[in-house]
Amino acid sequence: MWAIFLKKVETTMNEPKLYKWKQNGITVAGGNGRGQKLHRLNRPEGIFIDKNKNIFVADYENHRIVKWKHNAKEGKIIAGGNKKGRRIDQLYGPTDVIVDEQNHSIIVADRGNRRIKLTNRTNLMSGSEYENIIKQSTRPRTGFEKQTFFFSSKFFFHHILEPKLNKWKQNANTIAGGNEHGQQLNQLNGPTGIFIDKNKNIFIADYANHRIVEWEYNAKEGKIIAGENKEGNQIDQLYGPTDVIVDEQNHSIIVADRGNRRVIQWLNQNQQILIQNITCYALATDKHGFLYVSDWWKNEVRRWKMGEYDNEGIVVAGGNGYGDQLNQLRCPTYIFVDEEQSVYVSDQNNHRVMKWRKDAEEGRIVAGGNGTGTNLNQLYSPEGVIVDDLGQIYVADRENHRIMRWYEGKEEGEVVVGGNDKGNEPNQLNYPRGLSFDDEENLYVSDDYNHRIQKFQIIL
């Protein structure tokens, strides 16, 4: 009996039944061109099939997880789908998904956000509560790879924790100015704050020309849209504007008219002073309809509800005098407000960038703060500041003639463009000030002493 049993096992092992499949596949999800509609996908990656033949798809470029029921004509979003981002209800380039059918939960490899996310599927269908299982780690935890219910190999873990970071071509294209300083429409004179609209038109605070200039995409010269009457304090004049933002809904612009100590709105050549007696340096808005203004003289940032300016506003950063404590600022310049209404402030004379969370009583140093110098843990008179969807902080390191990238919690940053001494070559900057991204994540820099706006093209 024993010998016969061995023979049967050997035969079974040596001659297994091999499966074959029909060579023409059937599309069960997507296949209707790339797009965001529920019957479309955009670069699907990892998939999971449950016992009912429902398909769960990591819809990478749509930043969502979609469930396609068996024989369905379209899918249903069960995670993400709120544009790419790092909020708890957002995903950024998910690459895989698995389903725990016992607990009715899904686990997502949220690659762009460098985290693994767990969510209850029942909750997701009505609005979702997420739990970050792993967040912002830089190395695997001891024994973590052995927990195979999360992933199958160290290779997968490595790719979750090390997303591809954006890089830019080091030689920029000049897209505005660059014809020495002057007042002609193809010239700028000390450009400061910039704003890029959805059509890639550039709005520039042309500081020493006391005007706001719009350069349409690929234009050879600009068009004056505010302050064409020389410097002055009349309602139709500007005096050393340092920043500009555009309200694309009502086609108005809001200007930090610093020399006149006022914030002023221009709408179809009609002007309205919004805020007076403020040494305004920079402006920002959030999705909740608030306007933020940095006050260089009072060492603070204040917030107003847009359209309601008959009050003193609310201090959201600083406001405790000139100093270097965590609740103080020293000559704040440019600001950025994220999705959670945290305010990032370039704290110029403290050579650092501060992050003030909503309703916080003090800030946190997220870049610099180690005195002046050229080391990677230092800044020297920072100005422009922007934050991307991954929480990476970009800073115009003015006196070091470079643009730095920092990640909150890291001890030092990295140079992304510039840093080749000051100069006017395509790979050089000369006291950079304003920063902005367009919707393709190309990087724009107002190159102050070169009187030009530089565009650094993203490397795809």
CATH of the domain at 204: 2.120.10.30
Note the pLDDT of residue 188: 98
State how far the alpha carbon of 186 is from the alpha carbons of 75, 157, 181, 219, 226, in Å. 51, 51, 10, 9, 16
pLDDT tier for residue 347 given thresholds of 50, 70 and 90 = very high
Same domain as 279, residue 414: yes
Which run of H or of E encompasses 121?
helix 121-124
Residues 394-429 pLDDT 10s: 999 999 999 999 988 889 999 999 999 999 999 999
Same domain as 357, residue 279: yes
Q: Is the pLDDT of residue 363 over 70?
A: yes
Same domain as 125, residue 177: no
Q: Is residue 69 part of a domain?
A: yes
Q: Is the pLDDT of residue 460 over 60?
A: yes
CA distance 4 to 8: 6
3-state secondary structure of 426: coil
Q: Is residue 30 part of a domain?
A: no
Q: Is residue 153 part of a domain?
A: no
Q: Is residue 324 part of a domain?
A: yes
How many distinct structural domains can be found in the chain?
Answer: 2
Q: Is residue 364 part of a domain?
A: yes
Last residue within a domain, chosen from 129, 156, 189: 129
Q: Is the pLDDT of residue 33 over 70?
A: yes
User: Cβ(176)–Cβ(453) under 8 Å?
Assistant: yes
Residues 35-70 pLDDT 10s: 889 999 998 999 999 888 889 999 999 999 999 988
Same domain as 190, residue 106: no
Question: Which residues constitute the domain of residue 125?
Answer: 44-129
Q: Is residue 215 part of a domain?
A: yes
Q: Is residue 208 part of a domain?
A: yes
Same domain as 183, residue 104: no
Note the pLDDT of residue 325: 98
User: What integer best gives the mean pLDDT of the chain?
Assistant: 86
Q: Is residue 110 part of a domain?
A: yes
Note the pLDDT of residue 110: 92
Same domain as 334, residue 232: yes
Note the pLDDT of residue 148: 35
Percent of the chain predicted with pLDDT > 90: 67
Q: Does pTM top 0.75 for this prediction?
A: no
Same domain as 448, residue 393: yes
Q: Is the pLDDT of residue 129 over 60?
A: no
3-state secondary structure of 12: helix
Note the pLDDT of residue 194: 98
Same domain as 194, residue 95: no
